[in-house]
Structure 1
């Protein structure tokens, strides 16, 4: 095997296991997330862009409907690898990437309420900016964040630096003058 092929083989092996063993990858998938699945050397099994259904599922060749809701990208990658090993491929090299996150929502006293694409590192301050800024009646002290992952709703400890996650719904109430 020449050096180029050896380096490529090693790179593919590392890429195929990067998500599955990475404890830092804790993002849980849900409806609306968009994934890219690459099976090296198998273009018919690669999907350039697949959006998870309302149920958090997607259809995959040979394996059928795969439920990704509540799983990390690494866990879904492992499901595909394990499924392809069951009589389809001897040693599948799979890379699963998240290419779009589900939207977050901001409503109430912002100038442009609505749904906006999530970007990593989003804070309440940045979400308000995306929503066109606060109206003159807004109260930054009366903000509720309904977490999209089902965890506890935030009301009391909300600051402008509070982290926003995909699927969150931010409600900004009127202040009392």
Structure 2
């Protein structure tokens, strides 16, 4: 079980959404549930489709601003929303004078990368796939160096004030954007 080392502040908007059951917190959940709980962020590639309206469909990689330019609605803040909340936001915008009953689908085509550094043979960024664990991520990074510790592995999750630092084990689940650091062993 991962051990939380430092706490993290939650933005008021996330607290409000969480209080209304609209933004569940990350937990060790099956990968099929990841997309329902996953908050969109920089580097994610999303596809937005509106049934019967090809000109309103698009695929976009989220930039650092977390904002996309959507037909009819203009700039929309996307970062921090789940796919289902974004569907509702776009549908509500299209209902307001543009369409009678819009059917909007938002899917995550590509999750943002995660990063592995420290005592691995090939440090760098790697494509995230649901169900990844530390063990699998280390395998993607060509394994541990001879000096690596299998017990001193740290995950940094989140950004800025929202960053959480976790002491991880080999079976700890990963999320998109995680930064994994494998420390040296002293033996």
- 8 Å CA contact 1:110–1:138 kept in 2: the answer is yes
Structure 1 residue runs of 5 or longer lacking an equivalent are 1-20
Of 27, 31, 51, the residue aligned with 2:38 is 27
User: Offset of 1:89 from its aligned partner?
Assistant: 0.9
Q: Is the 8 A contact 1:148 1:169 kept in 2?
A: no
Q: CA deviation at 1:151?
A: 4.7
Q: Work out whether 1:119 is the aligned partner of 2:124.
A: no
Contact 2:120 2:144 in 1 (8 A): yes
- What is the alpha-carbon distance in structure 2 between the residues aligned to residue 124 and residue 26 of structure 1? 20
Q: Secondary structure at the match of 1:83?
A: helix
> Number of residue pairs matched?
154
Asked if 1:62 corresponds to 2:72, the answer is yes
Q: Deviations over 1:44-75 (max 9, x none)?
A: 1011x211111222111111111111111001
| 1:73-152 → structure 2 map (5 Å cutoff) | 73-148=83-158, 150-152=162-164
Partner secondary structure for residue 84 of structure 2: helix
> If the length of structure 2 is used for normalisation, what is the TM-score?
0.78
Structure 1 residue 152: deviation in Å? Answer: 2.2
Q: Distance in 2 between matches of 1:42 and 1:109?
A: 50
Q: Choose from 79, 82, 96 the match for 1:72.
A: 82
Q: Is the 8 A contact 1:31 1:57 kept in 2?
A: no
Q: 1: distance between equivalents of 2:40 and 2:50? A: 20
Larger Rg over CA atoms: 1
Q: Secondary structure at the match of 2:143?
A: coil
For the 8 Å contact 2:50–2:104, the answer to whether it is kept is yes
In 2, Cα distance between equivalents of 1:33 and 1:60: 16
Residues 27-54 of structure 1 show CA distances to partners (whole Å, capped at 9, x for unaligned) of 111111111111111111011x211111
C-alpha separation in 2, matches of 1:60 and 1:41: 17
> Are positions 1:41 and 2:52 aligned together?
yes
Cα 1:97–1:143 shift into 2, 3 Å? same
CA RMSD in angstroms comes to 1.7
